Amino acid sequence: MARIRITKEFRFEAAHALHNYDGLCRNIHGHSYILKVTVIGEPITDSNSPKLGMVMDFGDLKDIVNREIISEFDHALIVSRNVSQDTIREMGQMAERHFVMSYQPTCENMIIDFADRLKKALPSNVKLHSLRLNETAGSYAEWFASDNE
Ligand SMILES: Nc1nc2c(c(=O)[nH]1)N=C([C@H](O)[C@H](O)COP(=O)(O)OP(=O)(O)OP(=O)(O)O)CN2
Ligand SMILES: [Zn+2]
């Protein structure tokens, strides 16, 4: 049976700061992130299944990505735990939704985090194939399962 990739695109707004970065991005600033999620599997062949012909219902994929990533990060402020305690305190006053991550919130580290979350949440009949995270229209990171086996 053919293995097929399906992709769904998501958008979220978030602010971040790159601690100790040698450029403007050390300041808190925002991005309109675009996340593309690709899963791979075989289309369902059970003619009694309401999901006949689907690798995975796009709606189910949407629910998982929204639950694991978008609902968490949309309109949040994200920094690394290496910022000062003063900054972390101020963030709490400034932004109701703020995350102090164990990692520097670059596009690369965020996509690794997203891949880990999705791998755990996807049903067993599909596999996470790849992710693409755009920080700006012209800058993005990609994660491929085949690069990380
Ligand atoms: N490898 C990475 N480099 C940079 C990252 C990152 O996550 N990974 N992040 C930043 C900044 O947060 C910010 O995103 C600036 O990126 P940049 O593409 O340089 O921004 P521009 O506004 O110049 O984007 P254009 O698409 O060129 O308009 C910095 N570097
Ligand atoms: Zn940025």
Does the beta carbon of 2 lie inside 6 Å of ligand 1? no
Tell me the CATH architecture of domain 4-147: 2-Layer Sandwich (3.30)
Does the beta carbon of 25 lie inside 6 Å of ligand 1? yes
Does the beta carbon of 61 lie inside 6 Å of ligand 1? no
This prediction's pTM: 0.95
Distance 132 CA to ligand 2 centre (A): 16
pLDDT digits (tens, 9 = 90+) for 19-43: 999 999 999 999 999 999 999 999 9
Question: Quick one: pLDDT at residue 94?
Answer: 83
Question: Quick one: pLDDT at residue 79?
Answer: 93
Nearest-atom number in ligand 1 for the CA of 105 is 7
Question: Quick one: pLDDT at residue 118?
Answer: 98
Q: How far apart are CA 31 and CA 93, in angstroms?
A: 21
Domain coordinates in residue numbering, the chain: 4-147
Nearest-atom number in ligand 1 for the CA of 107 is 7
8: its two tokens: 């769904």
Question: Quick one: pLDDT at residue 138?
Answer: 97
Q: How far apart are CA 129 and CA 116, in angstroms?
A: 12
Written as tens digits, the pLDDT of the chain (149 aa) is: 899 999 999 999 999 999 999 999 999 999 999 999 999 999 999 999 999 999 999 999 999 999 999 999 999 999 999 988 888 888 888 888 999 999 999 999 999 999 999 999 999 999 999 999 999 999 999 999 999 98
Which sign, positive or negative, has the C-alpha torsion 86, 91, 96, 99?
negative
Distance 115 CA to ligand 1 centre (A): 21
Question: Quick one: pLDDT at residue 87?
Answer: 84
Contact criterion met (CB below 8 Å) for 11 and 34: yes
